[in-house]
């Protein structure tokens, strides 16, 4: 089995991503000195998007361990390499910690004293509690990721089924733990940007969006690497069709939840709820909404209805890339209007920050991926006919 071609391709990706990441990071440092508040706004948006890719891969990895679907075997190493970057994401979270007073109104004692809602929540929404909760959730995420990778490699070395059973047993509570902990995390990191606004569906929508981007990422990666050994032995158009069906399902689920939340809040017409949407359609922000409607739902949805297009590798990769970029815009749209409520505001840091974080993350991901076998071995459920 010739591994040199795929190793060279991953090494090239690692080098190019690292260079882009360094350039983005340097620009972010410049931005931090020239426009400090904007740097933290842009960095939070870029960071949350790439963390979402990691956590989305985390969720899909556990789903695969629970179901054993044939769609997961070609991309399982992608998921595993992604979740092993969680310690890096913990490190990259530090700039957010240093920028709390630029991002969150509840860090301002005068604002808290003047707002009864923030006074009521001050026991929960305060800087020490924010840091503690972030650590409490990052540590178990990283721990579970380490254990899952360890047991996966143990399965490669044995024909016994015990490592697979342990992975399935861990994934049961893990798939519950992920959205539960993410709920607390994104209350802190996103919802509290506007402390007077609450939505229970919003947090689930964030998790669904993360899984959608994680899936889109591995589809693009498999399309890029699928013609190199060892993938041609198991990857067929049927494999991409299965992944395309999953992508369609999550595009529909994300849209259903996003529209459902809007419909409920619009129907209730409560000032403290509807205001969140009002300044997200003010001025040029309305154009962003139309962009998301077209590229996050309409175009991917209708293209993915076709069986032929789901089995067409370049087309499916293009659809996945469209969803991936659209969700990056969606993450920015969730963050930026909290600070610019009268109309659209775009800054060069809104590109530099996701490029910086993403470049460093992709370089680390590629390093992890190229140093491991790209196909799982000895999984007792790996007896699927991929032509079906």
**Residue found under tokens 């509840």:** 106
- pLDDT (tens, 9 = 90+) of the chain, 388 residues, equals 457 889 999 999 999 999 999 999 999 999 999 999 999 999 999 999 999 999 999 999 999 999 988 899 999 999 999 999 999 999 999 999 999 999 999 999 999 999 888 998 889 999 999 999 999 999 989 999 999 999 999 998 888 889 999 999 999 999 998 999 988 899 999 999 998 888 888 889 999 999 999 999 999 999 999 988 889 888 988 999 999 999 999 999 999 999 999 999 988 888 888 989 999 988 899 999 999 999 999 999 999 999 999 999 999 999 999 999 999 999 999 999 999 998 899 999 999 999 999 999 999 999 999 988 899 888 888 754 433 3
Residue 38 · residue 31 · CB < 8 Å: yes
Each domain of the chain, given as residue ranges in start order, spans 4-370
CA torsion through residues 234, 245, 225, 151, sign: negative
Ranges of H-type helices in the chain: 4-34, 36-67, 76-83, 86-92, 94-98, 100-103, 109-114, 116-121, 127-156, 162-189, 200-225, 237-268, 271-278, 285-292, 299-304, 307-311, 313-335, 349-370
State how far Cα 257 lies from the chain centre.
17
pTM of the prediction?
A: 0.95
Which whole-number Å values give the CA distances from 19 to 9, 47, 363, in the listed order?
16, 18, 9
Residue 185 neighbours by CB under 8 Å, 6+ apart? 133, 134, 137
Residue 83: name the closest of 30, 37, 138 by CA. 138
d(CA 223, CA 370): 16
d(CA 137, CA 180): 10
Residue 333 neighbours by CB under 8 Å, 6+ apart? 280, 285, 288, 289, 292
Structure-block tokens of residue 342:
């009268």
**CB atoms closer than 10 angstroms to residue 165:** 14
């Amino acid at each position: 089995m010739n591994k040199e071609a795929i190793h060279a391709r991953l090494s090239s990706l690692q080098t190019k991503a690292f260079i882009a990441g360094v350039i983005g990071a340097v620009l972010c440092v410049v931005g931090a000195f020239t426009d400090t508040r904007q740097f933290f706004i842009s960095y939070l948006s870029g960071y949350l998007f790439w963390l979402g890719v990691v956590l989305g891969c985390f969720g899909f990895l556990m789903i695969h361990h629970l179901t054993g679907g044939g769609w997961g075997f070609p991309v399982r190493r992608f998921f595993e390499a992604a979740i092993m970057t969680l310690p890096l994401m913990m490190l990259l979270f530090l700039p957010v910690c240093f920028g709390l007073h630029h991002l969150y109104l509840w860090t301002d004692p005068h604002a808290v004293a003047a707002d009864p809602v923030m006074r009521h929540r001050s026991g929960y929404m305060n800087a020490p509690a924010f840091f503690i909760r972030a650590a409490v959730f990052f540590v178990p995420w990283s721990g579970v990721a380490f254990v899952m990778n360890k047991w996966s490699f143990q399965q490669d070395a044995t024909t016994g089924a015990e490592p697979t059973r342990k992975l399935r047993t861990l994934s049961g509570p893990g798939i519950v733990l992920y959205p539960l902990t993410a709920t607390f995390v994104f209350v802190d990191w996103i919802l509290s940007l506007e402390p007077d606004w609450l939505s229970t569906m919003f947090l689930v929508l964030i998790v669904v969006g993360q899984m959608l981007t994680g899936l889109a990422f591995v589809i693009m990666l498999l399309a890029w690497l699928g013609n190199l050994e060892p993938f041609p032995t198991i990857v067929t158009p049927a494999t991409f069709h299965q992944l395309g069906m999953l992508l369609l399902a999550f595009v529909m689920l994300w849209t259903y939840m996003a529209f459902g939340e809007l419909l409920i809040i619009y129907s209730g017409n409560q000032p403290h709820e509807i205001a969140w949407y009002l300044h997200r359609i003010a001025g040029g922000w309305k154009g962003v909404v139309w962009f998301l409607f077209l590229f996050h739902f309409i175009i991917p949805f209708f293209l993915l209805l076709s069986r032929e297009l789901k089995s067409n590798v370049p087309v499916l990769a293009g659809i996945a890339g469209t969803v991936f970029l659209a969700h990056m815009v969606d993450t920015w749209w969730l963050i930026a209007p909290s600070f610019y409520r009268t109309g659209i505001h775009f800054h060069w840091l809104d590109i530099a920050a996701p490029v910086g974080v993403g470049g460093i993350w992709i370089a680390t991901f590629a390093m992890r991926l190229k140093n491991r076998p790209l196909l799982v071995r000895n999984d007792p459920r790996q007896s699927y006919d991929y032509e079906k």
